[in-house]
Chains A and B, each alone.
Chain A
Amino acid sequence: MRCRKLKIVGVALALTFVWFCIRFPYEMLAVAEKIFGSPNQVDPLTLHLHGEFVESNLGTAVEPDGSVTVRLIAQQFNFVPECVVVPEGTRVRFRLTSADFVHRFSISGTDHSLEVVPGHVSESQFQFAKAGQYKTPCHEFCGAGHYDMRSRVLVVTRDRFVNPKPQERLGCAFP
Protein backbone atom coordinates (compact mmCIF):
# COMPACT_ATOMS: atom_id res chain seq x y z
CA MET A 1 0.00 0.00 0.00
CA ARG A 2 2.83 2.39 0.90
CA CYS A 3 4.41 1.77 -2.47
CA ARG A 4 1.17 2.70 -4.28
CA LYS A 5 0.90 5.95 -2.34
CA LEU A 6 4.45 6.80 -3.30
CA LYS A 7 3.63 6.09 -6.92
CA ILE A 8 0.72 8.53 -6.82
CA VAL A 9 2.89 11.21 -5.27
CA GLY A 10 5.60 10.54 -7.82
CA VAL A 11 3.24 10.81 -10.77
CA ALA A 12 1.74 14.00 -9.34
CA LEU A 13 5.16 15.55 -8.91
CA ALA A 14 6.20 14.51 -12.40
CA LEU A 15 3.04 16.05 -13.85
CA THR A 16 3.70 19.26 -11.91
CA PHE A 17 7.20 19.35 -13.35
CA VAL A 18 5.87 18.92 -16.89
CA TRP A 19 3.30 21.67 -16.26
CA PHE A 20 6.11 23.93 -15.02
CA CYS A 21 8.08 23.27 -18.18
CA ILE A 22 5.10 24.21 -20.32
CA ARG A 23 4.32 27.36 -18.32
CA PHE A 24 7.92 28.47 -17.89
CA PRO A 25 8.26 30.58 -21.08
CA TYR A 26 4.95 32.36 -20.39
CA GLU A 27 5.90 33.08 -16.80
CA MET A 28 9.23 34.44 -17.98
CA LEU A 29 7.37 36.59 -20.51
CA ALA A 30 5.19 38.02 -17.75
CA VAL A 31 8.26 38.76 -15.63
CA ALA A 32 9.99 40.39 -18.59
CA GLU A 33 6.89 42.53 -19.26
CA LYS A 34 6.90 43.64 -15.64
CA ILE A 35 10.56 44.61 -15.80
CA PHE A 36 10.89 46.04 -19.30
CA GLY A 37 7.29 46.88 -20.13
CA SER A 38 5.45 45.70 -23.21
CA PRO A 39 4.99 47.73 -26.40
CA ASN A 40 1.27 47.06 -26.17
CA GLN A 41 0.83 48.24 -22.59
CA VAL A 42 0.02 51.89 -21.91
CA ASP A 43 -1.14 53.93 -18.95
CA PRO A 44 -4.60 55.23 -19.91
CA LEU A 45 -4.33 58.21 -17.54
CA THR A 46 -1.11 59.63 -18.95
CA LEU A 47 -1.62 59.09 -22.68
CA HIS A 48 -1.29 62.84 -23.33
CA LEU A 49 2.00 63.23 -21.45
CA HIS A 50 4.38 60.79 -23.15
CA GLY A 51 4.57 57.75 -25.37
CA GLU A 52 2.92 56.71 -28.57
CA PHE A 53 -0.48 58.36 -28.06
CA VAL A 54 0.49 61.98 -27.40
CA GLU A 55 -1.79 64.21 -29.42
CA SER A 56 0.87 65.26 -31.93
CA ASN A 57 1.38 61.59 -32.89
CA LEU A 58 -2.30 60.82 -33.57
CA GLY A 59 -3.61 60.44 -37.09
CA THR A 60 -2.17 58.83 -40.20
CA ALA A 61 1.56 58.19 -40.35
CA VAL A 62 3.52 56.72 -43.24
CA GLU A 63 6.42 54.58 -42.02
CA PRO A 64 9.83 54.58 -43.72
CA ASP A 65 8.96 51.26 -45.41
CA GLY A 66 5.84 52.84 -46.96
CA SER A 67 3.25 51.14 -44.76
CA VAL A 68 0.40 53.25 -43.35
CA THR A 69 -0.31 53.39 -39.62
CA VAL A 70 -3.32 55.11 -38.06
CA ARG A 71 -3.25 55.94 -34.37
CA LEU A 72 -6.45 56.87 -32.55
CA ILE A 73 -7.62 57.34 -28.98
CA ALA A 74 -11.11 56.18 -28.06
CA GLN A 75 -12.67 57.99 -25.13
CA GLN A 76 -16.07 59.03 -23.83
CA PHE A 77 -17.57 60.04 -26.29
CA ASN A 78 -15.46 60.41 -29.39
CA PHE A 79 -12.54 59.01 -31.31
CA VAL A 80 -9.60 61.37 -31.60
CA PRO A 81 -8.80 62.59 -34.20
CA GLU A 82 -12.34 62.82 -35.53
CA CYS A 83 -11.30 62.11 -39.12
CA VAL A 84 -8.30 60.39 -40.65
CA VAL A 85 -7.31 59.99 -44.28
CA VAL A 86 -5.88 56.75 -45.71
CA PRO A 87 -5.08 55.57 -49.25
CA GLU A 88 -7.27 53.09 -51.10
CA GLY A 89 -6.07 49.52 -51.73
CA THR A 90 -3.28 49.69 -49.19
CA ARG A 91 -2.95 47.69 -46.01
CA VAL A 92 -3.62 50.09 -43.13
CA ARG A 93 -2.49 49.28 -39.61
CA PHE A 94 -4.85 50.64 -36.93
CA ARG A 95 -3.42 51.15 -33.46
CA LEU A 96 -5.96 52.23 -30.87
CA THR A 97 -6.14 52.58 -27.14
CA SER A 98 -8.79 53.81 -24.75
CA ALA A 99 -8.46 56.61 -22.21
CA ASP A 100 -11.35 55.49 -20.02
CA PHE A 101 -13.69 52.58 -20.77
CA VAL A 102 -14.07 49.74 -23.25
CA HIS A 103 -15.03 50.90 -26.74
CA ARG A 104 -15.24 49.17 -30.10
CA PHE A 105 -13.95 50.76 -33.28
CA SER A 106 -16.08 49.40 -36.10
CA ILE A 107 -15.96 50.60 -39.68
CA SER A 108 -19.44 50.74 -41.19
CA GLY A 109 -19.98 48.89 -44.45
CA THR A 110 -17.07 46.55 -43.74
CA ASP A 111 -16.53 43.54 -41.51
CA HIS A 112 -13.82 45.30 -39.55
CA SER A 113 -14.17 45.97 -35.84
CA LEU A 114 -11.63 46.24 -33.08
CA GLU A 115 -12.15 46.06 -29.33
CA VAL A 116 -10.42 48.98 -27.58
CA VAL A 117 -9.52 48.41 -23.96
CA PRO A 118 -7.90 50.86 -21.54
CA GLY A 119 -4.31 50.00 -20.68
CA HIS A 120 -3.76 48.04 -23.87
CA VAL A 121 -3.01 48.93 -27.48
CA SER A 122 -5.34 47.13 -29.87
CA GLU A 123 -3.98 46.57 -33.31
CA SER A 124 -5.54 45.40 -36.55
CA GLN A 125 -4.91 45.62 -40.25
CA PHE A 126 -7.43 46.49 -42.87
CA GLN A 127 -7.41 47.22 -46.57
CA PHE A 128 -10.04 49.57 -48.00
CA ALA A 129 -11.11 48.34 -51.43
CA LYS A 130 -13.09 51.45 -52.39
CA ALA A 131 -12.46 55.15 -51.91
CA GLY A 132 -15.06 57.11 -49.98
CA GLN A 133 -16.04 58.21 -46.54
CA TYR A 134 -16.55 55.53 -43.90
CA LYS A 135 -18.25 56.18 -40.58
CA THR A 136 -16.72 54.44 -37.57
CA PRO A 137 -19.33 54.18 -34.81
CA CYS A 138 -18.48 52.89 -31.35
CA HIS A 139 -19.88 49.38 -31.10
CA GLU A 140 -19.61 48.73 -27.39
CA PHE A 141 -21.93 50.56 -24.99
CA CYS A 142 -19.74 53.09 -23.20
CA GLY A 143 -22.09 55.51 -21.46
CA ALA A 144 -24.61 58.31 -21.94
CA GLY A 145 -23.12 59.61 -25.20
CA HIS A 146 -22.42 56.22 -26.75
CA TYR A 147 -25.03 56.52 -29.52
CA ASP A 148 -23.39 59.66 -30.91
CA MET A 149 -19.83 58.41 -30.65
CA ARG A 150 -18.45 58.05 -34.16
CA SER A 151 -15.66 59.35 -36.32
CA ARG A 152 -14.78 59.13 -39.99
CA VAL A 153 -12.16 57.44 -42.13
CA LEU A 154 -11.67 59.23 -45.43
CA VAL A 155 -10.34 56.82 -48.06
CA VAL A 156 -8.81 58.53 -51.09
CA THR A 157 -7.39 57.05 -54.27
CA ARG A 158 -3.71 56.20 -54.26
CA ASP A 159 -2.76 59.08 -56.59
CA ARG A 160 -4.58 61.66 -54.46
CA PHE A 161 -2.86 60.50 -51.29
CA VAL A 162 0.23 62.59 -50.67
CA ASN A 163 2.74 60.95 -48.35
CA PRO A 164 3.32 63.14 -45.32
CA LYS A 165 6.78 63.98 -44.10
CA PRO A 166 8.15 61.59 -41.42
CA GLN A 167 7.20 64.06 -38.69
CA GLU A 168 3.76 64.81 -40.12
CA ARG A 169 0.47 63.17 -39.18
CA LEU A 170 -2.55 63.47 -41.44
CA GLY A 171 -5.94 64.45 -40.08
CA CYS A 172 -9.07 65.61 -41.81
CA ALA A 173 -7.63 68.87 -43.15
CA PHE A 174 -6.73 67.04 -46.34
CA PRO A 175 -7.40 68.60 -49.79
Chain B
Amino acid sequence: MLFLRALAGVGRIRLSAALLAVGIPFMVSGNPPLRSSSAQPPLHTPSQIAWTEQTISAASSGDAVRGLVIARRCARCHGAEGFSSDPLVPNLAGMETLTMWKQMNDFRDGKRKSAIMSIIAADLAVKDYADLAAYYAMLPTYPDPFDTRSFPQLAPASTHMAVAARLVEGGDGPRGIPPCQACHGPISHKIGAPSLAAQNSNYIQEELEEFASGHRANDINMPMRTIASLLTDDEKQALGAYYGSGLGSLPVGASVPAK
Protein backbone atom coordinates (compact mmCIF):
# COMPACT_ATOMS: atom_id res chain seq x y z
CA MET B 1 0.00 0.00 0.00
CA LEU B 2 2.80 2.31 -0.92
CA PHE B 3 0.66 4.66 -2.96
CA LEU B 4 -1.86 5.16 -0.13
CA ARG B 5 0.98 6.12 2.16
CA ALA B 6 2.29 8.38 -0.57
CA LEU B 7 -1.06 10.11 -0.87
CA ALA B 8 -1.44 10.41 2.86
CA GLY B 9 2.09 11.71 3.29
CA VAL B 10 2.08 15.30 4.50
CA GLY B 11 5.10 16.09 2.37
CA ARG B 12 3.25 15.26 -0.85
CA ILE B 13 0.34 17.43 0.06
CA ARG B 14 2.68 20.30 0.71
CA LEU B 15 4.29 19.63 -2.66
CA SER B 16 0.97 19.71 -4.47
CA ALA B 17 -0.04 22.88 -2.66
CA ALA B 18 3.23 24.46 -3.73
CA LEU B 19 2.65 23.38 -7.34
CA LEU B 20 -0.84 24.82 -7.21
CA ALA B 21 0.52 28.07 -5.87
CA VAL B 22 3.06 28.17 -8.71
CA GLY B 23 0.24 27.68 -11.19
CA ILE B 24 -1.93 30.52 -9.96
CA PRO B 25 0.24 33.44 -11.15
CA PHE B 26 0.38 31.83 -14.63
CA MET B 27 -3.36 31.52 -14.55
CA VAL B 28 -3.79 35.18 -13.73
CA SER B 29 -1.21 36.53 -16.16
CA GLY B 30 -2.38 34.32 -19.03
CA ASN B 31 -5.32 36.59 -19.80
CA PRO B 32 -4.72 40.24 -18.97
CA PRO B 33 -7.89 41.90 -17.73
CA LEU B 34 -9.51 44.00 -20.43
CA ARG B 35 -9.15 47.69 -19.75
CA SER B 36 -12.17 48.70 -21.75
CA SER B 37 -12.98 52.27 -22.63
CA SER B 38 -15.21 53.96 -20.13
CA ALA B 39 -17.63 55.01 -22.83
CA GLN B 40 -18.43 53.04 -25.95
CA PRO B 41 -19.89 54.97 -28.87
CA PRO B 42 -23.59 54.44 -29.55
CA LEU B 43 -24.14 51.08 -31.25
CA HIS B 44 -24.77 51.09 -34.98
CA THR B 45 -25.31 47.73 -36.64
CA PRO B 46 -24.99 47.58 -40.44
CA SER B 47 -27.29 44.58 -40.69
CA GLN B 48 -29.16 42.27 -38.34
CA ILE B 49 -28.00 39.28 -40.38
CA ALA B 50 -24.98 37.21 -39.32
CA TRP B 51 -23.86 34.26 -41.42
CA THR B 52 -24.41 31.58 -38.82
CA GLU B 53 -25.36 28.07 -39.86
CA GLN B 54 -29.01 28.59 -38.97
CA THR B 55 -29.14 31.74 -41.08
CA ILE B 56 -27.58 30.04 -44.06
CA SER B 57 -29.90 27.05 -43.87
CA ALA B 58 -32.95 29.33 -43.49
CA ALA B 59 -31.86 31.44 -46.46
CA SER B 60 -31.10 28.54 -48.75
CA SER B 61 -34.14 26.39 -48.01
CA GLY B 62 -36.43 28.26 -50.41
CA ASP B 63 -38.95 26.75 -52.79
CA ALA B 64 -38.26 28.04 -56.32
CA VAL B 65 -41.76 27.21 -57.60
CA ARG B 66 -43.36 29.21 -54.83
CA GLY B 67 -40.81 31.93 -55.57
CA LEU B 68 -41.92 32.00 -59.20
CA VAL B 69 -45.47 32.86 -58.14
CA ILE B 70 -44.32 35.61 -55.75
CA ALA B 71 -41.91 36.96 -58.38
CA ARG B 72 -44.81 38.02 -60.61
CA ARG B 73 -45.01 41.07 -58.37
CA CYS B 74 -41.34 41.84 -58.98
CA ALA B 75 -41.46 41.47 -62.77
CA ARG B 76 -42.73 44.98 -63.38
CA CYS B 77 -39.46 46.59 -62.27
CA HIS B 78 -36.97 43.71 -62.28
CA GLY B 79 -38.12 42.14 -65.55
CA ALA B 80 -39.98 38.92 -66.25
CA GLU B 81 -36.70 37.08 -66.69
CA GLY B 82 -34.77 38.98 -64.08
CA PHE B 83 -33.32 41.60 -66.46
CA SER B 84 -34.62 45.03 -65.66
CA SER B 85 -35.24 47.72 -68.27
CA ASP B 86 -34.64 50.61 -65.85
CA PRO B 87 -30.86 51.12 -65.60
CA LEU B 88 -31.11 52.06 -61.92
CA VAL B 89 -32.93 48.86 -60.98
CA PRO B 90 -30.70 45.81 -60.52
CA ASN B 91 -30.94 42.67 -62.62
CA LEU B 92 -31.90 39.73 -60.43
CA ALA B 93 -31.27 36.88 -62.86
CA GLY B 94 -28.79 34.46 -61.32
CA MET B 95 -28.49 36.53 -58.14
CA GLU B 96 -26.81 34.67 -55.25
CA THR B 97 -29.36 33.14 -52.88
CA LEU B 98 -27.74 34.41 -49.68
CA THR B 99 -27.19 37.92 -51.05
CA MET B 100 -30.81 38.25 -52.15
CA TRP B 101 -32.09 36.96 -48.79
CA LYS B 102 -29.88 39.35 -46.83
CA GLN B 103 -30.86 42.39 -48.90
CA MET B 104 -34.57 41.65 -48.44
CA ASN B 105 -34.02 41.39 -44.69
CA ASP B 106 -32.06 44.64 -44.70
CA PHE B 107 -34.85 46.40 -46.60
CA ARG B 108 -37.35 45.19 -44.01
CA ASP B 109 -35.14 46.21 -41.06
CA GLY B 110 -34.47 49.62 -42.61
CA LYS B 111 -30.76 48.86 -42.83
CA ARG B 112 -30.82 49.43 -46.57
CA LYS B 113 -32.96 52.38 -47.52
CA SER B 114 -35.39 52.28 -50.41
CA ALA B 115 -38.89 53.76 -50.38
CA ILE B 116 -40.29 51.07 -52.63
CA MET B 117 -38.38 48.00 -51.51
CA SER B 118 -38.90 48.51 -47.78
CA ILE B 119 -42.68 48.48 -48.31
CA ILE B 120 -42.49 45.35 -50.45
CA ALA B 121 -40.16 43.58 -48.03
CA ALA B 122 -42.43 44.42 -45.09
CA ASP B 123 -45.34 42.94 -47.03
CA LEU B 124 -43.60 39.58 -47.52
CA ALA B 125 -42.73 36.92 -44.95
CA VAL B 126 -39.14 35.83 -44.30
CA LYS B 127 -40.00 32.46 -45.88
CA ASP B 128 -40.97 34.35 -49.06
CA TYR B 129 -37.50 35.91 -49.21
CA ALA B 130 -35.97 32.44 -49.34
CA ASP B 131 -38.43 31.34 -52.04
CA LEU B 132 -37.72 34.42 -54.17
CA ALA B 133 -34.00 33.94 -53.69
CA ALA B 134 -34.25 30.31 -54.80
CA TYR B 135 -36.24 31.33 -57.90
CA TYR B 136 -33.96 34.16 -59.03
CA ALA B 137 -30.83 32.10 -58.39
CA MET B 138 -32.22 29.58 -60.87
CA LEU B 139 -32.62 32.04 -63.76
CA PRO B 140 -29.76 32.11 -66.27
CA THR B 141 -27.32 35.00 -65.80
CA TYR B 142 -26.38 35.29 -69.43
CA PRO B 143 -28.98 36.77 -71.70
CA ASP B 144 -29.64 34.77 -74.85
CA PRO B 145 -27.46 36.30 -77.60
CA PHE B 146 -30.25 35.81 -80.18
CA ASP B 147 -32.78 37.61 -78.03
CA THR B 148 -33.38 41.14 -79.30
CA ARG B 149 -34.92 42.57 -76.14
CA SER B 150 -33.17 45.16 -73.99
CA PHE B 151 -30.57 42.91 -72.40
CA PRO B 152 -27.20 44.41 -71.60
CA GLN B 153 -25.05 44.41 -74.72
CA LEU B 154 -21.31 44.00 -74.82
CA ALA B 155 -19.78 47.45 -75.10
CA PRO B 156 -16.72 48.01 -77.28
CA ALA B 157 -13.39 47.99 -75.46
CA SER B 158 -11.83 51.36 -74.71
CA THR B 159 -9.16 52.82 -72.44
CA HIS B 160 -11.96 53.53 -69.98
CA MET B 161 -12.59 49.80 -69.83
CA ALA B 162 -8.91 49.06 -69.32
CA VAL B 163 -9.01 51.04 -66.06
CA ALA B 164 -11.91 48.93 -64.84
CA ALA B 165 -10.43 45.66 -66.08
CA ARG B 166 -7.27 46.36 -64.09
CA LEU B 167 -9.26 47.00 -60.91
CA VAL B 168 -11.50 43.98 -61.41
CA GLU B 169 -8.70 41.55 -62.13
CA GLY B 170 -5.75 42.87 -60.16
CA GLY B 171 -7.02 45.56 -57.83
CA ASP B 172 -4.69 48.39 -56.85
CA GLY B 173 -2.12 47.31 -54.28
CA PRO B 174 -0.58 50.68 -53.36
CA ARG B 175 -4.02 52.07 -52.53
CA GLY B 176 -5.22 48.89 -50.83
CA ILE B 177 -8.01 48.11 -53.29
CA PRO B 178 -8.48 44.35 -53.67
CA PRO B 179 -9.59 42.96 -57.04
CA CYS B 180 -13.40 42.94 -57.41
CA GLN B 181 -13.37 39.41 -58.74
CA ALA B 182 -11.82 38.06 -55.52
CA CYS B 183 -15.23 38.44 -53.84
CA HIS B 184 -17.72 38.98 -56.67
CA GLY B 185 -16.52 36.22 -58.96
CA PRO B 186 -15.82 34.60 -61.28
CA ILE B 187 -12.52 33.48 -59.66
CA SER B 188 -13.76 33.32 -56.06
CA HIS B 189 -16.82 34.29 -54.06
CA LYS B 190 -17.26 35.74 -50.60
CA ILE B 191 -20.37 34.92 -48.64
CA GLY B 192 -23.05 37.57 -49.10
CA ALA B 193 -21.34 39.17 -52.10
CA PRO B 194 -23.40 39.30 -55.30
CA SER B 195 -22.11 38.07 -58.60
CA LEU B 196 -21.92 41.21 -60.74
CA ALA B 197 -21.96 39.61 -64.17
CA ALA B 198 -24.24 41.54 -66.58
CA GLN B 199 -25.49 43.94 -63.91
CA ASN B 200 -26.86 47.36 -64.88
CA SER B 201 -24.06 49.88 -65.27
CA ASN B 202 -25.90 52.84 -63.73
CA TYR B 203 -26.94 50.68 -60.81
CA ILE B 204 -23.34 49.63 -60.09
CA GLN B 205 -22.10 53.22 -60.30
CA GLU B 206 -24.94 54.48 -58.12
CA GLU B 207 -24.35 51.85 -55.42
CA LEU B 208 -20.59 52.55 -55.37
CA GLU B 209 -21.38 56.24 -54.84
CA GLU B 210 -23.87 55.38 -52.10
CA PHE B 211 -21.33 53.16 -50.36
CA ALA B 212 -18.62 55.83 -50.64
CA SER B 213 -20.84 58.52 -49.15
CA GLY B 214 -22.16 56.17 -46.47
CA HIS B 215 -25.79 56.47 -47.53
CA ARG B 216 -25.81 52.76 -48.08
CA ALA B 217 -24.27 51.14 -45.00
CA ASN B 218 -25.53 47.57 -44.84
CA ASP B 219 -22.27 45.77 -45.65
CA ILE B 220 -21.16 43.65 -42.70
CA ASN B 221 -17.77 44.90 -41.37
CA MET B 222 -17.79 47.62 -44.06
CA PRO B 223 -15.75 46.10 -46.92
CA MET B 224 -17.67 47.98 -49.63
CA ARG B 225 -17.78 51.30 -47.82
CA THR B 226 -14.01 51.07 -47.39
CA ILE B 227 -13.26 50.13 -50.98
CA ALA B 228 -15.78 52.49 -52.59
CA SER B 229 -14.39 55.43 -50.63
CA LEU B 230 -10.95 54.73 -52.16
CA LEU B 231 -12.24 54.77 -55.75
CA THR B 232 -12.27 57.93 -57.85
CA ASP B 233 -15.45 59.03 -59.66
CA ASP B 234 -13.97 57.99 -63.00
CA GLU B 235 -13.21 54.53 -61.67
CA LYS B 236 -16.73 54.11 -60.33
CA GLN B 237 -18.10 55.00 -63.75
CA ALA B 238 -15.63 52.67 -65.46
CA LEU B 239 -16.56 49.79 -63.16
CA GLY B 240 -20.23 50.39 -63.89
CA ALA B 241 -19.54 50.30 -67.62
CA TYR B 242 -17.41 47.18 -67.24
CA TYR B 243 -20.01 45.14 -65.38
CA GLY B 244 -22.86 46.61 -67.42
CA SER B 245 -21.24 45.35 -70.59
CA GLY B 246 -21.35 41.77 -69.34
CA LEU B 247 -17.55 41.51 -69.19
CA GLY B 248 -17.68 40.41 -65.56
CA SER B 249 -18.94 37.02 -66.62
CA LEU B 250 -16.05 36.25 -68.95
CA PRO B 251 -13.16 34.04 -67.87
CA VAL B 252 -10.08 35.62 -66.29
CA GLY B 253 -7.91 37.56 -68.72
CA ALA B 254 -10.49 37.63 -71.51
CA SER B 255 -11.67 41.13 -70.66
CA VAL B 256 -8.34 42.93 -71.06
CA PRO B 257 -8.73 44.93 -74.26
CA ALA B 258 -6.09 44.37 -76.94
CA LYS B 259 -3.76 47.32 -77.42
Contact = CB atoms under 8 A, between A and B. Distances in A.
Interface of A: 6-7, 9-11, 13-14, 17-18, 21-22, 24-26, 28-29, 38-40, 45-50, 52, 54-57, 61, 63-65, 67, 69, 73, 75-78, 80-82, 99, 123, 143-145, 147-152, 166-169
Contact of A21 (B19, B47, B48, B222): B19
A130 to B, nearest CB: 21
Interface in B1-43: 1-4, 6-7, 12, 15-16, 19-20, 23-24, 26-27, 30-43
29 contacts: A6-B1, A6-B3, A10-B1, A14-B3, A18-B16, A26-B26, A29-B27, A29-B31, A40-B34, A46-B50, A48-B50, A54-B44, A54-B45, A56-B43, A57-B40, A57-B41, A76-B183, A77-B178, A78-B227, A80-B221, A82-B176, A82-B229, A144-B182, A145-B178, A145-B183, A148-B173, A148-B179, A152-B176, A167-B40
Name the 10 nearest CB pairs between A and B, nearest first: A10-B3, A145-B178, A145-B182, A25-B23, A77-B178, A148-B171, A144-B182, A39-B34, A10-B2, A21-B16
- Most-contacted residue by chain B among A22, A47, A63, A144 (CB, 10 A): A144
A55 B15 CA distance: 50
A63 B37 contact: yes
B155 interface: no
B37 A61 contact: yes
B179 A25 contact: no
A25 B171 contact: no
A65 B38 CA distance: 10
A152 B227 CA distance: 13
Nearest to B34: A39
B43 A76 contact: no
Contacts of B227: 78
Interface string B220-233: 11110011011000
Contacts of B142: none
Contact of A25 (B20, B43, B170, B226): B20
- Most-contacted residue by chain B among A54, A65, A99 (CB, 10 A): A54
- Most-contacted residue by chain B among A14, A21, A65, A150 (CB, 10 A): A21
A9 B220 CA distance: 58
Interface string B223-254: 10011011000000000000000000000000
Contacts of B172: 148
Contact of A76 (B7, B16, B41, B190): B190
Contacts of A25: 20, 23-24, 26-27
B221 A38 contact: no
A80 B226 contact: yes
Contact of B36 (A10, A45, A52): A52
B52 interface: yes
B188 interface: yes
Contact of A13 (B3, B182, B188): B3
B46 A48 contact: yes
Contacts of B46: 48, 55
A9 B26 CA distance: 31
A152 B15 CA distance: 53
B16 A17 contact: yes
A134 B40 CA distance: 27
Given A29-B31, A56-B43, A167-B42, 14 more contacts: A6-B1, A10-B4, A21-B16, A26-B23, A29-B27, A50-B43, A55-B221, A61-B37, A69-B37, A80-B223, A144-B187, A149-B176, A149-B178, A166-B37
Given A14-B3, A54-B43, A82-B176, A76 B182 contact: yes
B6 A14 contact: yes
B205 interface: no
A44 to B, nearest CB: 10
A110 B230 CA distance: 25
B226 A81 contact: yes
